[in-house]
Amino acid sequence: MTDTVAHLKLTLAGAQRILAAAQARAQAMGVPQNIVVTDDGGHMLAMARMDGAKPLSVMSAFAKAKTAASARAPTGGAAADVELKLALAQDLHYTNLRGGLPIIVDGKCIGAIGVGSGTGDQDVEVAKAGLAALAGASIP
């Protein structure tokens, strides 16, 4: 057994590629969005608030990305009877709103994307378009 493991890292260039693809999809849909890309620890690497996106949705987009990075799973899957408890246990850094997706490459979470300002379905569609721009990323 070793004391260290190899670790993939999402670069700023990769985060910007994801961000640009997500913005392009949101623009094509006619739905201005707030888009946040984080590293695997939920720390922001790139962010955009498109013209016309709801200002308060910046916070939910970031929360979606942090939640997806921490859980290593898409947001929106928690049962309604535990979502508030999870949010409180995580000092309100957890959200069950749809639109957060982990960035999985070679089976490892290297970051996440969070999208907010549209419907849950629109947010997920934009997030998936962002992931599609990163070579090797799995799309849930």
Give the structural domain span for 75. 12-133
Q: Using one digit for the tens of pLDDT, what is the confidence trace for 106-132? A: 999 999 999 999 999 999 999 999 999
Residue 77 DSSP class: -
Does residue 115 contact residue 129 with C-beta atoms inside 8 Å?
A: no
pLDDT at 84: 72
Taking all residues of the chain, what is their mean pLDDT, rounded to a whole number?
Answer: 94
Mean pLDDT of the region 37-43? 97
Question: Residue 106 sits in a domain of what CATH number?
Answer: 3.30.450.150
Mean pLDDT of the region 79-101? 82
**Count of the separate structural domains present in the chain:** 1
Does residue 7 form part of some domain?
A: no
Which pLDDT band, with edges at 50, 70 and 90, does 5 fall under? confident
Does residue 70 form part of some domain?
A: yes
Which pLDDT band, with edges at 50, 70 and 90, does 136 fall under? very high
φ, ψ at 103 (rounded to 5°)? -100, 105
Does residue 5 form part of some domain?
A: no
Does residue 74 form part of some domain?
A: yes
Determine the Cα–Cα distance for residues 62 and 42; give it in Å rounded to an integer. Answer: 9
